[in-house]
């Protein structure tokens, strides 16, 4: 799903971002709000990882935010 990235964790982040974006748009949000929400969820997850002993990976933030492209309507 993510070209050049074989890490299952990144795929999970991507799918989570797509799910968040879909939900936001389904609730009446704009595509920009949906992508912002996906990115915010990615940031929140990494902040939680940092506070509770997980591994912080900035690429996870971008993988989550990138999930919005699946639901973005042009």
For residue 66, the surrounding DSSP H or E stretch is helix 58-66
Q: What is the DSSP string of 4-62?
A: T---HHHHHHHHHHHHHHHHHHHTT--HHHHHHHHHHHHHHHHHHHHHTT----HHHHH
Domain positions in the chain are 30-74
Q: In the numeric block, which tokens belong to residue 73? A: 């309507």
22-48 pLDDT tens trace: 999 999 999 999 999 999 999 999 999
Whether residue 6 has pLDDT greater than 60:
no
pTM (two decimals) = 0.82
Cα separation, 53 vs 30, in Å, equals: 35
């Amino acid at each position: 799903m993510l070209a050049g990235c074989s890490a299952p964790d990144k795929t999970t982040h991507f799918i989570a971002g797509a799910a968040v974006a879909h939900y936001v748009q389904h609730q009446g949000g704009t595509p920009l709000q949906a992508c912002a929400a996906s990115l915010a969820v990615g940031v929140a997850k990494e902040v939680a990882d940092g506070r509770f002993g997980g591994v912080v990976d900035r690429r996870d933030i971008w993988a989550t935010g990138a999930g919005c492209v699946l639901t973005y309507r042009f």
